Chains A and B, each alone.
Chain A
Amino acid sequence: MNTPVPETAATNLETEVLIIGGGVTGAGVMRDLALRGIHCVLIDKVDLCAGASGGNHGLLHSGARYVTTDLDAAIECRQESERLKRLAPQCIEDTGGLFVAVEGDDPGFAGRFAQLCGTAGIACDELTVAEARRLEPQLSDKLVKAYRVPDATVDPFHLALANVDHARSLNGSIYRSHTELLGFEVADGEIRAAQCRDSRSHKPLRIRARQFVNAGGAWAMKIARLAGCADVDLRYAKGTLLVHHERITRRVVNRLRPPGDGDILVPGGTVSLLGTSSTRVQDLEQVGPTVEEIDLIMREGSAMIPALAGARYTRAFSRVRPLLQGGGPASDRAASRGFALIDHRAQGLANFCTITGGKLTTFRLMAQKTADLVAARLGKREPGTTASVALPDAEAGRWTEPGAAPRHWVKLNDPSDLILCECEMVPQSAVDSIVASAPDGAAPAMSLEAISLRSRIGKGPCQGSFCGIRVASYLYDQGHFRDRAGLAALRDFFDERFKGQRLVTWGAQAAQMELAEALQCGLLGLDSLEAE
């Protein structure tokens, strides 16, 4: 079967390859296979980048961070980041990065760092303290050492959307959000189909395929076990990050010391992300930041940049990183950031593989290795092309970049195209465009979260408290919302946004929150929709 045709019944889908997990890796596998002419269905139980892909600081590693702990990973990062800067520049801001040490940091580390960067082929120039502070005036006056490295930032949402969009346009491959995997049908050493259901409507969906790819990230071990495979062994590390409401630096700023809490500040468009803490967790579903983690990250970050102490943060969030269980190092930070591709042959399955571990920067390489295995199993020997084919810019991904919507709006110059999100200047036409390129089967009930994921809506200082209401009104106006379910969707959107705000609501954010709650609960009654 070379020309896959979705079966007519709504509850059945057929494809060549089913990919489970809509992080950047799954999206990358989808595009890589589509470029080889192989049809795929990508599913995620929530939506694109709902796990670690969307919950990291968006750093495109030069590799410098890893030179002291994992030289191979560092070299891989260097190669992949150079490649992505060339092939997907629309998703990347080539900011450059600094590594800085402050008084009290181990001076021996700096020497080793510079030398190992040289070994890994990573450009690393020492700057004088004065030069570093001229480049980044917010740096501490207690700076003692500084190096410049080719770090950059990447927008994982844009990246995932563009990969998925390209795959869809290449051969009609399908992306379905909110599609939860329940189990596999296995017979004669092969998976025949995946039993799924729509997590919103609870309608069952059966997906038949010839090959199955587990790109579940932190959930990969659970997914593998559904197929009876016991050979995926992961540890879970919770990473917590803070979003500062402004961009404080032009460049990525790393602490020049062994990896630790609060050692990196990454600019992300108009904001800054400060991270990261690392804590072992057992549970994958209920992870959230704690007051202690937030205060620790602020305290550590302010050693590099004093303005980070007690500043205005709009969010704090945690995601789980999957770390491959290996015999070696004891600490999670030193554990391998490399990835693993497991073919499950030893578990008696010939058409199932798992790709996990790794990092955002190396997602393309991970996808390529996975696609190589899958294509070979399908009897296709042509090599992949993602190492040389540029990632086309996609309509679907264009709204995630700060400034994209305002530029579009100014260019369009249509006064009837009203701005819905005033913090980030997102007009009605951007929402129309996002709804039009919704995941397969999702357009009629495109949620506010899904629109927010694909745009800057809800990302500004108001965190969606005003624009959420305006977007909901617009969706009612356009007939996408038709009854009380629209208000429930609005409430769910606010509940979801709030998870990131809960522990950083002080100062101006406390005032903002009080106003938002007065409107959303006190006036609109979103706290008592059922009771009314």
Chain B
Amino acid sequence: MTEPTRTFVTELAVIGSGMAGFAASVFAAERQIGTVITGNSGAMAYTTGYLDLLGRVDGAAQAIADPWQALEQLRLAQPDHPLGRVAGSDIRRAFEVFTAALAESGIAYTPAGERNVTVLTPAGTLKQTLCLPATMAAGPQALAAQTECVIVDFEGLKGFSGRELVANLGRRWPGLRTQRIAFPDLRGGETYAEVMARSLEVPATREKLAAMLRRVAGTAQVLGLPAILGMHRPDRVHAEMQRLTGLTIFEIPTMPPGVPGVRLRELLEQALPKKGVTLIAQHRVSRLSLDAAGATLELQDSFGPIRVLARAVLLATGRFLSGGLAAQANGIHEPLLDLPVTQPAGRGDWYRERYTDIRGHLIHRAGIEVNADFQPIGQGGRPHSERLFAAGSILAHHDWIRSRSGAGIAVATAYKAVEAAERFLRKSS
């Protein structure tokens, strides 16, 4: 039986539904550009909810306190760096629009400030970020003020140990203690943060947990919990738990994949259609052709073939984890269009000898080249197509891992790429 091909016609097709693809769809919707977004959003579940802009400059030991000033230096030192191509004012605006869209859908964020915020990790180390979910905001404040605080962890929840947090933070946070409790009605055996989060959307569970939290708080007025405060309405669950306990509560991300990442993914999947964006989720584009008339994307879901006809395409397919780049024994490739990939000379140069080398690995700086309009450069040094734009981690000349700039690169370059795509669409219409 041959299934009929379903066809979508749109102005802009976004390929990739990670942070860059989602942000691009948000920006496109804001600009009233008809948008279809495709691709697997699995990697979103690995995000912590923190939106980093620039936490370190590659190779430097010290964390960055003022990311805006550091960006100005980056612009001079690494002119090819994707963040170096976006003006500070554009980055601020991009974060503003993106976090506003998230807040509108149920995850309020702290605003992008002048300085980085020092936030907690599940191992009890600290990192720098720009914006964080409101449910996590009281943690960094308590840390900065050295407020007496109890980290509560749960029987059966692996990889989140209050004792570990206290062992590693205790020296700089003397008022920090920990207590372990059993999550209401989940006794004996392994428990999962996602299950706890969904269960806390039920008022009765919240009341039971609140009673336990009050008991273990002792004299502390502030409690830290693993990120379990609801899946779809974390702001409300968080407010309710604070009201029921009379305490200040904050979340700490658990080891990904965790609740904050799943929240973002599910929220964007629900929010984008409301903004008029067509979502063809979890299916990979198998073929993309671009010509003078337009672009054609081909993909397949369980109901049969799908074709998307678009006037412009934004490539936000990510790196190795998401399949935007493919590393093979003989080199690194861009699988969808076979775009040239800037990369180290050979496999022996991909990684340094030491894994945790602060300077990072050269494989991360591999990627595709774009021009000032974020159009990928094809074979022969010219743009691959006037209708093709790219954003996010697939771009060359950055190491988002070492520089703690994953969300920053995604959001900032998506903003500029959509801006350029809009110029193209308006000009050619």
Q: How far is the CB of A250 from chain B (nearest CB, A)?
A: 27
B167, A470: Cβ atoms closer than 8 Å: no
Q: Which of A7-15, A207-215, A471-479 contacts B (4 or more CB under 8 A)?
A: A471-479
The answer to whether B163 has its CB under 8 Å from any CB of chain A is yes
Q: How far is the CB of B131 from chain A (nearest CB, A)?
A: 16
Q: Which residues of B contact A517 (CB under 8 A)?
A: 355, 361, 401
A511, B321: Cβ atoms closer than 8 Å: yes
Q: Which residues of A contact B16 (CB under 8 A)?
A: none
Across the interface, name the chain A residue whose C-beta is closest to B361.
A517
The answer to whether A525 has its CB under 8 Å from any CB of chain B is yes
Among A490, A510, A520, the most chain B Cβ lie within 10 Å of the Cβ of A510
A532, B125: Cβ atoms closer than 8 Å: yes
Across the interface, name the chain B residue whose C-beta is closest to A496.
B355
A505, B158: Cβ atoms closer than 8 Å: no
Q: Which residues of B contact A520 (CB under 8 A)?
A: 356
Which residues of A, 484-531, contact B by the 8 Å Cβ criterion?
A: 484, 486-487, 490-491, 494-495, 497-499, 502-503, 505-507, 510-511, 513-515, 517-531
The answer to whether B406 has its CB under 8 Å from any CB of chain A is yes
Given A487-B123, A505-B351, A525-B126: A420 and B158 within 8 A (CB)?
A: yes
Across the interface, name the chain A residue whose C-beta is closest to B405.
A522
Across the interface, name the chain B residue whose C-beta is closest to A515.
B321
From B168, B353, B354, A484 is in contact (CB under 8 Å) with: B168
Which residues of B, 330-362, contact A by the 8 Å Cβ criterion?
A: 346-348, 350-351, 353-358, 360-361
The answer to whether B62 has its CB under 8 Å from any CB of chain A is yes
B327, A506: Cβ atoms closer than 8 Å: yes
B164, A486: Cβ atoms closer than 8 Å: yes
A523, B328: Cβ atoms closer than 8 Å: no
From A470, A483, A514, B321 is in contact (CB under 8 Å) with: A514
Q: Which residues of A contact B62 (CB under 8 A)?
A: 531
Q: Could you tell me the distance between the alpha carbons of A100 and B264 in the complex, rounded to whole angstroms?
A: 55
B164, A494: Cβ atoms closer than 8 Å: no
Q: Which residues of A contact B160 (CB under 8 A)?
A: 473
Given A416-B156, A495-B356, A531-B62: A523 and B127 within 8 A (CB)?
A: yes
Q: Could you tell me the distance between the alpha carbons of A419 and B125 in the complex, rounded to whole angstroms?
A: 24
The answer to whether B76 has its CB under 8 Å from any CB of chain A is no
The answer to whether A108 has its CB under 8 Å from any CB of chain B is no
Q: How far is the CB of B173 from chain A (nearest CB, A)?
A: 13
Among A479, A499, A519, the most chain B Cβ lie within 10 Å of the Cβ of A519
B328, A524: Cβ atoms closer than 8 Å: no
Given A494-B355, A521-B401: A310 and B161 within 8 A (CB)?
A: no
Q: Which residues of B contact A524 (CB under 8 A)?
A: 121-123, 125
Q: How far is the CB of B301 from chain A (nearest CB, A)?
A: 23
B358, A522: Cβ atoms closer than 8 Å: no
For B153-186 the 0/1 string (1 means CB < 8 A from A) is 0011011110110011001000000000000000
Q: How far is the CB of B156 from chain A (nearest CB, A)?
A: 7
Given A523-B127, A523-B256: A502 and B353 within 8 A (CB)?
A: yes
From B127, B171, B346, A291 is in contact (CB under 8 Å) with: B346
Given A495-B356, A506-B329: A290 and B348 within 8 A (CB)?
A: yes
B190, A476: Cβ atoms closer than 8 Å: no
For A452-480 the 0/1 string (1 means CB < 8 A from B) is 00000000000000100110111011010
B189, A416: Cβ atoms closer than 8 Å: yes
Which residues of B, 105-126, contact A by the 8 Å Cβ criterion?
A: 121-126
The answer to whether A481 has its CB under 8 Å from any CB of chain B is yes
Q: How far is the CB of B341 from chain A (nearest CB, A)?
A: 13
From A415, A476, A514, A528, B320 is in contact (CB under 8 Å) with: A514
B402, A483: Cβ atoms closer than 8 Å: no
The answer to whether A125 has its CB under 8 Å from any CB of chain B is no
Given A473-B158, A473-B161, A511-B321: A518 and B356 within 8 A (CB)?
A: no
Which residues of B, 34-86, contact A by the 8 Å Cβ criterion?
A: 46, 48, 56, 61-63
Among A483, A486, A506, A507, the most chain B Cβ lie within 10 Å of the Cβ of A506
The majority secondary structure among interface residues of chain B is: loop
A525, B121: Cβ atoms closer than 8 Å: yes
B329, A487: Cβ atoms closer than 8 Å: no
Across the interface, name the chain B residue whose C-beta is closest to A292.
B348
Q: Which residues of B contact A416 (CB under 8 A)?
A: 155-156, 188-189
Q: Could you tell me the distance between the alpha carbons of A477 and B154 in the complex, rounded to whole angstroms?
A: 12
The answer to whether B400 has its CB under 8 Å from any CB of chain A is yes
Among A494, A499, A525, A531, the most chain B Cβ lie within 10 Å of the Cβ of A525
The answer to whether B255 has its CB under 8 Å from any CB of chain A is yes
Given A469-B123, A531-B62: A521 and B256 within 8 A (CB)?
A: no
A532, B190: Cβ atoms closer than 8 Å: no
Which residues of B, 213-245, contact A by the 8 Å Cβ criterion?
A: none
From B61, B329, B364, A528 is in contact (CB under 8 Å) with: B61
Among A490, A495, A523, the most chain B Cβ lie within 10 Å of the Cβ of A523
Which residues of B, 353-389, contact A by the 8 Å Cβ criterion?
A: 353-358, 360-361, 363-364
The answer to whether B397 has its CB under 8 Å from any CB of chain A is no
Q: Could you tell me the distance between the alpha carbons of A529 and B358 in the complex, rounded to whole angstroms?
A: 10
Bin the interface of chain A by size: 35 or more
Q: Which residues of A contact B127 (CB under 8 A)?
A: 523, 525
B319, A514: Cβ atoms closer than 8 Å: yes
Q: Could you tell me the distance between the alpha carbons of A310 and B329 in the complex, rounded to whole angstroms?
A: 7
Q: Could you tell me the distance between the alpha carbons of A481 and B125 in the complex, rounded to whole angstroms?
A: 15
Q: Could you tell me the distance between the alpha carbons of A511 and B168 in the complex, rounded to whole angstroms?
A: 30
B125, A479: Cβ atoms closer than 8 Å: no
The answer to whether B416 has its CB under 8 Å from any CB of chain A is no
Q: Which residues of A contact B398 (CB under 8 A)?
A: none
A477, B161: Cβ atoms closer than 8 Å: yes
Q: Which residues of A contact B48 (CB under 8 A)?
A: 523
A418, B167: Cβ atoms closer than 8 Å: no
Q: How far is the CB of B363 from chain A (nearest CB, A)?
A: 8
B164, A295: Cβ atoms closer than 8 Å: no
B327, A491: Cβ atoms closer than 8 Å: no
Q: How far is the CB of B365 from chain A (nearest CB, A)?
A: 13
Q: How far is the CB of A516 from chain B (nearest CB, A)?
A: 9
Q: Which residues of A contact B121 (CB under 8 A)?
A: 523-525
A415, B161: Cβ atoms closer than 8 Å: no
The answer to whether B404 has its CB under 8 Å from any CB of chain A is yes
The answer to whether A482 has its CB under 8 Å from any CB of chain B is yes
B63, A532: Cβ atoms closer than 8 Å: yes
Q: Could you tell me the distance between the alpha carbons of A498 and B356 in the complex, rounded to whole angstroms?
A: 9
Given A418-B156, A469-B255, A528-B61: A481 and B167 within 8 A (CB)?
A: yes
Q: How far is the CB of B185 from chain A (nearest CB, A)?
A: 15
Q: Which residues of A contact B123 (CB under 8 A)?
A: 469, 472-473, 487, 490, 524
For A94-120 the 0/1 string (1 means CB < 8 A from B) is 000000000000000000000000000
Q: Could you tell me the distance between the alpha carbons of A275 and B328 in the complex, rounded to whole angstroms?
A: 21
Q: Which residues of A contact B326 (CB under 8 A)?
A: 507, 510
Given A481-B167, A514-B320, A531-B62: A522 and B188 within 8 A (CB)?
A: no
Across the interface, name the chain B residue whose C-beta is closest to A311.
B329
Q: How far is the CB of A373 from chain B (nearest CB, A)?
A: 42
For A278-307 the 0/1 string (1 means CB < 8 A from B) is 000000000000110001001000000000
By Cβ-Cβ distance, the 5 closest A-B pairs, closest first, are: A415-B189, A498-B355, A476-B164, A531-B61, A510-B327
Given contacts A526-B356, A531-B63, 13 further A-B contacts (CB under 8 A): A473-B164, A476-B164, A477-B164, A481-B167, A483-B167, A487-B125, A502-B355, A505-B363, A511-B321, A515-B321, A517-B355, A521-B356, A528-B56
Sample of 18 A–B contacts (CB below 8 Å): A416-B156, A418-B189, A473-B161, A477-B164, A479-B163, A481-B164, A481-B167, A484-B167, A484-B168, A494-B355, A502-B351, A507-B328, A514-B320, A517-B361, A523-B48, A523-B122, A524-B121, A531-B62
B interface, CB within 8 angstroms of A: 46, 48, 56, 61-63, 121-127, 155-156, 158-161, 163-164, 167-168, 171, 188-190, 253, 255-256, 319-321, 323, 326-329, 346-348, 350-351, 353-358, 360-361, 363-364, 400-402, 404, 406
A interface, CB within 8 angstroms of B: 290-291, 295, 298, 310, 415-416, 418-420, 466, 469-470, 472-474, 476-477, 479, 481-484, 486-487, 490-491, 494-495, 497-499, 502-503, 505-507, 510-511, 513-515, 517-532
